[in-house]
Amino acid sequence: MGKLNSKIPDGPLAQKWTKYKASVKLVNPANKKKLEIIVVGTGLSGASAASALGELGYSVKNFCYQDSPRRAHSVAAQGGINAAKNYQNDGDSVYRLFYDMIKGGDYRAREANVYRAAEVSNQVIDHYTALGVPFARDYGGTLDTRSFGGVQVSRTFYAKGQTGQQCLLGCYSSLNRQIKKGNVKMFPRREMLDLVVIDGKARGIITRNLLTGEIERHGAHAVVLATGGYGTIYYLSTLAVNSNASAAWKAHKKGAFFANPSFVQIHPTCVPQLNEFQSKLTLMSESLRNDGRVWVPKTKDDTRPANNIPEEERDYFLERRYPTFGNLVPRDVASRAAKERCDAGYGVGETKLAVNLDFRDAINKQGKKAIENKYGNLFEMYKTITGIDPYEEPMRIYPAGHYTMGGLWVDYELMTTIPGLYAIGESNFSDHGANRLGASSLMQAAGDGYFVLPNTISNYLADEIRIPKISTDNSEFAEAEKAAVERINKLMSVKGKQTAASFHKRLGKIMWDYVGMTRNEAGLKKALDMIRELRDEFWKDLNIPGTANELNMELDKAGRVADYFELTQLLITDALNRKESCGAHFREEYQTPDGEALRNDEEFAYVAAWEYTGEEKPHILHKEDLKFEEVEMKVRSYK
């Protein structure tokens, strides 16, 4: 540990994965049964991994904090899942998908991992189809596709606006099969509170039973975190409100490096905040930009209803600024462009913090039925929330926190810097650089879980076959349990007046104002100070009703917010360190004359992997230099 070794296999990019799989160490079926693996998380990455590892014959223990694995946040994914099938014969290929992701991520991702993600994408679609996921089909019965931002091909497979739900149900059915067979033991309503490391290796976790408050020890030969992203760090975001970073953060404090924490995606098409009491924002899928046109009035402070504004007085600002990609520019670009128009006074709606997403032309051309077939449930959702019928009037949209490209640092095998600890799906930093392209997260999460991890984990476990079942009666488990209990007691004993949610809301506001879509040095430093002050107030005035020995959702929240106070500081440190703009990380000091991100490849073409050194001590920065052998680093342009 300490030094980064990304373990990228030798050889040409297109052959690395094939070669790796052919030479990786295997575990024979009899030994697999004796090896226990903990998988924390049941989203697309966790449920895929748990079911695939169970199918292989390992003894799997699968954890989630929801009452059922099928309620993992992945269920919310709407628009689609990418694959390089080239069904449209529009020039797609594994290489093009890889290239789009590298460029989309603004050249801050590791080539070998990204290529592999593109390579296994086709298997993911075949697998889901075999599981019965009802992907949309065209008239001839072939799987249909649509386009997402940052690409010029149509490679996104979808199930209306419920792709995540349908894919998760597929994962869930294969997971249930393994539960029934006894290969996977399911632990719902459990929250991982700490990682247990013995002799430098991940050997288990400490959990809290969220219904009874009981603290439990679970041992295993390897631990896989599939715990999702930390977009709720902004409080208001498109994520499920309970999404959090605590599992990853606890692993970080036990030695797993945290990579690029400041790379956070702000999604351009969300229903704008309606009032102060809101606890979450709703996404309107990027797929809508296939047919919806984004515009604002050409006149400042124009208060006319959208339908009364004539064509020549509308500014289709994405089409104007980016004629090549138009409304399908990547998310970071679209979000900043919307913010720029609103900041300049052209926003619409009461708050003026919104732009129009208009389907008038698409409905006129394709008919209402065609639009309904593609986006019906999204239109319904929008109408329920806002009272506005998007078949009749444009939707109003504004950017919101959505996805975290940053996460636990992993090598090519998806192992963190703690041997035996893996991170998959959104919880790792691996494939999306500084900006994720739409529909590539489900692709990565399912690819990691079904096809990558089951291959790479055997390379580690092959050397563990002589290690007997991990006992939880030892000092490492006792110490981790003691620390978890002490932390709960500390939270419970503050006995102040303010709720965890009220602190989270204030923390999120600081993050949004100073560490959101655009950042600058003064603002980042100010945010650091404000967050430290707020954290001190939290530890003096937090109120948690009830006790720790029962169902106590206020306690659950408080623990997660306490971790966010720590993670935000690392996130800001990372944003301050990266004196360039790349992808979603936009430092105002580093921009081109026309307001685009200005990278500094000389000094920052690296992954920033941060090592924890103790409470209140500065993190140590480790740099993984990014070498581009297949792709030339260019200025990213969608004009």
74 forms part of the interface with ligand FAD (CB under 6 A): yes
φ/ψ of residue 548, rounded to 5: -85, -10
CB 27 within 8 A of CB 53: no
Interaxial angle between packed helices 163-181 and 44-56, expressed in degrees from 0 to 180 and rounded to the nearest 10: 30
Q: Is 398 helix (H, G, I), strand (E, B) or coil?
A: strand
227 forms part of the interface with ligand FAD (CB under 6 A): yes
- Are β-strands 190-198 and 421-423 bridged in parallel, bridged antiparallel, or unpaired? unpaired
Rounded to the nearest whole angstrom, what is the least distance from the CB of residue 281 to ligand FAD in the complex?
9
Tokens of 190: 């459990």
63 forms part of the interface with ligand FAD (CB under 6 A): yes
81 forms part of the interface with ligand FAD (CB under 6 A): yes
Rounded to the nearest whole angstrom, what is the least distance from the CB of residue 163 to ligand FAD in the complex?
5
331 is catalytic: yes
Q: State in Å, rounded, how far the first CA of the chain is from the last one.
A: 43
Rounded to the nearest whole angstrom, what is the least distance from the CB of residue 62 to ligand FAD in the complex?
9
Burial state string for 313-344 with b = 16 or more CB within 10 A and e = fewer than 16:
ebbbbbeebbeebbbbbbbbbbbbbbbebbee
> Exactly one of 119, 413, 426, 596 binds ligand FAD (CB under 6 A); which one?
426
46 forms part of the interface with ligand FAD (CB under 6 A): yes
Nearest residue to ligand FAD, scored by beta-carbon proximity: 43
Cα(359)–Cα(306) distance, integer angstroms: 12
- Which of 108, 331, 341, 560 is the catalytic position? 331
Interaxial angle between packed helices 500-515 and 521-541, expressed in degrees from 0 to 180 and rounded to the nearest 10: 170
Cα(406)–Cα(428) distance, integer angstroms: 7
> Exactly one of 441, 456, 518, 573 binds ligand FAD (CB under 6 A); which one?
441
Is the Cβ of residue 328 or residue 527 nearer to ligand FAD in the bound state? 328
Is the Cβ of residue 281 or residue 309 nearer to ligand FAD in the bound state? 281
Q: What value, to the nearest 5°, has the Cα angle with vertex 315 and ends 310 and 320? A: 135
435 forms part of the interface with ligand FAD (CB under 6 A): no
230 forms part of the interface with ligand FAD (CB under 6 A): no
Sites for ligand FAD among residues 289-318 (CB under 6 A)? none
> Exactly one of 124, 239, 337, 562 binds ligand FAD (CB under 6 A); which one?
239
* Binding range to ligand FAD, per CB under 6 A, among 27-35, 189-197, 492-500, 548-556: 189-197
Rounded to the nearest whole angstrom, what is the least distance from the CB of residue 556 to ligand FAD in the complex?
9
> Exactly one of 60, 186, 439, 527 binds ligand FAD (CB under 6 A); which one?
439
Rounded to the nearest whole angstrom, what is the least distance from the CB of residue 172 to ligand FAD in the complex?
11
- Are β-strands 620-625 and 606-611 bridged in parallel, bridged antiparallel, or unpaired? antiparallel
163 forms part of the interface with ligand FAD (CB under 6 A): yes
561 forms part of the interface with ligand FAD (CB under 6 A): no
169 forms part of the interface with ligand FAD (CB under 6 A): no
Total residues contacting ligand FAD by CB under 6 A comes to 48
Is the Cβ of residue 241 or residue 465 nearer to ligand FAD in the bound state? 241
42 forms part of the interface with ligand FAD (CB under 6 A): yes
Cα(561)–Cα(571) distance, integer angstroms: 15
Write down the residue that tokens 């050889």 correspond to: 11
Distances (CA, A) of 146 to 45, 98, 304, 407, 504: 23, 18, 33, 29, 37
Cα(411)–Cα(41) distance, integer angstroms: 20
Which residue ranges make up the site for ligand FAD (CB under 6 A)?
40-46, 63-66, 72-74, 76-81, 163-164, 190-192, 226-229, 238-239, 243-244, 246-247, 283, 285, 402-403, 425-427, 439-443, 445
Which residues are catalytic, by number?
Answer: 331
